[in-house]
Structure 1
């Protein structure tokens, strides 16, 4: 897998995590609002499917599929919701932050490798 493709996948995952963090913060802010239904964001399965190589795929084709992935509302999870569960929202926020930090570190290392390859040092 090329460095460019890895960067594209990581960048798209960061986009999805950003949306999830924003939605989770909104859920927490509305924890005491009557009738509020917490939102859930889904993107990992779509990103995994887009990034999976298919027979005869070229890297540009995979990159195009990855670029087309967008975070979506998980309506099934929202329909099962019994209102805001503050402990679950805090856990989601913590997990999302940890994933975001891990991916930014991975993207940083990828960019360092690209710089090293260009400089040849």
Structure 2
């Protein structure tokens, strides 16, 4: 399998975005759970640093941390508006990464076929 920096970055981004979608779903599912703290997934800064420093993007793993945002009376801090917007943003980013990967493979197919 051909593995270049671009493909590695896109794959790591897809992995991180998929993890974020799972965490968002978990947050929404627990919106009424007392003392539940919303999860947040971070990977973009680590991925950017890996690319800038020339280290392998494949070493980057998404990190899940609990939100430190203020809580409601029951100790829960899930905000449905925030989760909904985050879900839409993450979905659009995921689709963009899939299109980038598809374009990359489309170019490779074209080269293999001789540009026809």
What TM-score comes out, normalization by structure 1 length? Answer: 0.83
> What pairs up with 1:15-54 in 2 under 5 angstroms?
15-52=15-52, 54=53
Q: Which has the higher helix share?
A: 1
Aligned residues: 108
Tell me the equivalent position of 2:6.
6
Structure 2 residues not aligned, in runs of 5+: 72-76
Scaled by the length of structure 2, the TM-score of the pair is 0.86
CA RMSD of aligned residues (A): 1.5
Give, in whole Å, the separation in 2 of the partners of 1:4 and 1:80. Answer: 38
Query: 2:82 aligned with 1:88, yes or no?
Result: yes
Q: Deviation string for 1:6-51 (max 9, x for gaps)?
A: 1111011000000000000000010111111001010000000101
| Whole-Å separation in 2 of the counterparts to 1:108 and 1:81 | 41
**1:109 equivalenced with 2:103 (yes/no):** yes
Q: Which has the higher relative contact order, 1 or 2, with Cα contacts under 8 A spaced 6 or more apart?
A: 1
Moved over 4 A (4+): none
1:68, 1:81 → 2: CA distance?
Answer: 33
